[in-house]
């Protein structure tokens, strides 16, 4: 394996780094407000989007609340997905079975690899999600957030259309 072809051809480098403070609030709330005005669901932090990384990768911090959440088994045709557990217990599906994971555990899923994740622990949990190359996953997350917050019900055909537009193939 060798280094890829250069993408930057300047002579002196640029001052182009992008910083995000650890205490920056979430970019997206994926869930709903409860009767007490609190939030139940997942807080998503857009650490590095495909747009902000020139398509190199998308990196997101996924902070799940204690209620069960996460997608069913699926795969992507155009992107890889990696999971790095930060806190709590997250169930990761690697195509063969579910694994209860702990902080420091990591799962890489190549294109076409069946995978899923769930927080079924009853406690908050968080992880990093990394997509390569940097596909526009924010659009998918934002559509899911709108569906969850409004309680809108999608038909099977509408779910299929949503998934196809975002390179998500349910199994």
In a domain, 151, yes or no: yes
Q: What are phi and psi of 59, to 5 degrees?
A: -125, 130
5 within a domain of the structure (yes/no)? no
pTM (2 d.p.): 0.93
pLDDT, tens digit, 9 for 90 and up, residues 70-105: 999 999 999 999 999 999 999 999 999 999 999 999
Residue 142 lies in a domain: yes
Would residue 19 count as lying in a domain? no
Decide if 70 contacts 119 (C-beta within 8 A). Answer: yes
Provide the CATH number for the domain around residue 72.
2.60.120.10
Q: Is residue 166 part of a domain?
A: yes
pLDDT in tens, 12-41: 999 999 999 999 999 999 998 888 878 889
Q: Is residue 52 part of a domain?
A: yes
Domain assignment of residue 40, yes or no: yes
Structural domains counted in the chain: 1
Q: Token pair 């596909």 is at which residue?
A: 135
Burial 79-114 (b: 16+ CB within 10 A, else e): bbbbbbbeebbbbbbbeeeeeebeeeeebebeeeee
Range 105-132 average pLDDT: 98
Structural domain of 91: 28-170
Q: Residue 45: inside a domain, yes or no?
A: yes
């Amino acid at each position: 394996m060798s280094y890829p072809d250069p993408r930057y051809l300047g002579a002196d480098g640029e001052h182009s780094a992008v910083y995000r403070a650890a205490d920056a609030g979430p970019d997206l709330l994926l869930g709903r407000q409860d009767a007490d005005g609190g939030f139940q669901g997942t807080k998503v932090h857009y650490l590095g989007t495909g747009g902000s990384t020139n398509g190199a990768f998308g990196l997101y911090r996924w902070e799940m609340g204690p209620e069960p959440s996460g997608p069913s088994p699926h795969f992507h045709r155009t992107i890889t997905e990696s999971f790095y557990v930060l806190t709590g217990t997250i169930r990761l599906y690697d195509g063969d079975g579910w694994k209860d994971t702990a902080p420091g555990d990591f799962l890489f899923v190549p294109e076409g690899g069946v995978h899923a994740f769930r927080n079924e622990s009853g406690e908050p949990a968080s992880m990093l999600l990394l997509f390569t190359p940097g596909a526009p996953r924010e659009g998918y997350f934002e559509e899911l957030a709108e569906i969850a917050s409004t309680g809108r019900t999608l038909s099977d055909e509408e779910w299929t259309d949503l998934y196809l537009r975002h390179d998500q193939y349910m199994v």
